[in-house]
Amino acid sequence: MIESSYQQSVLRSNLFVVWNEIVKNIKTLLAYPTIIVFWAIFPIFWFIPFILQGQAFVGGLESANFAQITGSGEYVPFIVIGAVLNSYVNTLLYGMGENIRKEAYQGTLDYVLAAPCNKAYVLIGKAISESLSSTIFAISQLTISVLLFGMSITLGVMVPVFFIVILLILGLYGIALIMAAFSLMYKQSYDLSESIGYIFYIFAPVRYPIESLPTWAQIFGKLIPLTYALIIVRSFMLLGADLSTVYLEVIALLIIDLALLLAGFYLFSWMEEKTRKSGAISHH
């Protein structure tokens, strides 16, 4: 009986940590409204050149070669979906890694790490707040794209898409945890995030079908969670496919997520212990 109420209290305290981390991050974001407007609108400007390039090269809104490779010749929704899902990479990868560094810059990292709570819950709070803001920005970008480029989206399609986005976020959490771990020890997480961002940008089918890459690069690309998320979401939204058609990709995404999360949590705990012992936490 006593043990059960103790467990309840521990759970409540941990949820309290997660909740307050979310509130803190949202408050910080709301303090900079220009940044909210920027992330909600400006990523669209980054893919407009690709749409204009398409118009110049094929002289219309459909490409016969694209249709042969992907099953759909419409390159505009292809680009929009790629850009919106890739925005999760931008915000989650850079956001999580930098979040830890920001605590160090602001002089609060020592307090966070010395607080009598499990640090995994602090990270979960940070991850959930980053996911919330990323989703709000993604919805905004998608809505503007629908209005600008006349894409049609139904609620029936968006439900499974939402499920896949959650799986993508889980995989990115794993990578972000690995980067946060390196950030604790080696500080310059920015270069690591940027380099991983480059790999995603080239090897995942963000702007072009994965079949456009050489075979070795396709194999490498298939280790990235974003690749599967893009293939599945495009199959739902552009080809009208259902879960039975893409179940293999969903299973692959689940396996990659699991591996990344396990590696992330293990590495973070290990690095945290190491930095505590070496006293490297307060260095920046």
Partner 1 sequence: MDKSNREYRLREVNCPTGFNWGNLKAELKAVWESNVKDWKIEFAYPVSFIRQLISPLVFLLPFLLYGIALVGGRYSENLAQLVGSGDVVTFIFTGYMLMGFIGTAVWAMGFSIRRESWFGTLEAIYVTPSSRLGQVLGMALHSTVHQTLGTIIQLIVIYFTFGLALKIEGILPALGIFALMMLALYGFGIVISALGLILKEGWVVSDSLYSIMTILSPVAYPLIVLPTVAQQASALFPTAPALIGMRSFLIENYHAEAFGNVFLHLLALGAAWILFGVVVFRLTDVYVRKRGLLKKF
Site string for partner 1, 13-32 (x = CB under 8 A): -------------------x
The least CB distance from residue 45 to partner 1, in Å, is: 4
* DSSP category for residue 142: H
> What sign has the CA pseudo-torsion 161, 162, 166, 168?
positive
Here the tokens at position 210 are 């994965």
Stretch that binds partner 1, among 1-9, 60-68, 144-152, 235-243 (CB under 8 A): 60-68
**Residue from 6, 16, 19, 46 binding partner 1 (CB under 8 A):** 46
Site for partner 1 contains 3 (CB under 8 A): no
Distance CA 16, CA 30 (A): 21
* DSSP category for residue 31: T
Nearer to partner 1, 45 or 216 (CB): 45
Nearer to partner 1, 160 or 221 (CB): 221
Phi-psi category of 230—alpha, beta or left, where left has phi over 0 and alpha has psi -120 to 50? alpha
**Residue from 25, 63, 134, 227 binding partner 1 (CB under 8 A):** 63
The least CB distance from residue 212 to partner 1, in Å, is: 4
**Residue from 1, 2, 56, 155 binding partner 1 (CB under 8 A):** 56
Distance CA 83, CA 94 (A): 16
**Residue from 1, 59, 116, 155 binding partner 1 (CB under 8 A):** 59
Here the tokens at position 172 are 């990115």
Distance CA 211, CA 103 (A): 42
Site for partner 1 contains 282 (CB under 8 A): no
Q: Which of residues 68-107 bind partner 1 (CB under 8 A)?
A: 68-69, 75
Site for partner 1 contains 50 (CB under 8 A): yes
Q: Which of residues 175-234 bind partner 1 (CB under 8 A)?
A: 188, 190-191, 194-195, 198, 201-202, 206-209, 212-213
Nearer to partner 1, 208 or 265 (CB): 208
Here the tokens at position 76 are 């505009």
Amino acid letter, 246: V
Here the tokens at position 93 are 């990868």
Q: Which long-range contacts (CB under 8 A, 24 or more apart) does 206-210 make?
A: 206/82, 206/83, 206/85, 206/86, 206/230, 207/47, 207/50, 207/79, 207/82, 209/66, 209/69, 209/70
Q: Which residues bind partner 1 (CB under 8 A)?
A: 32, 34-35, 38, 42, 45-46, 48-50, 52-59, 63-66, 68-69, 75, 188, 190-191, 194-195, 198, 201-202, 206-209, 212-213
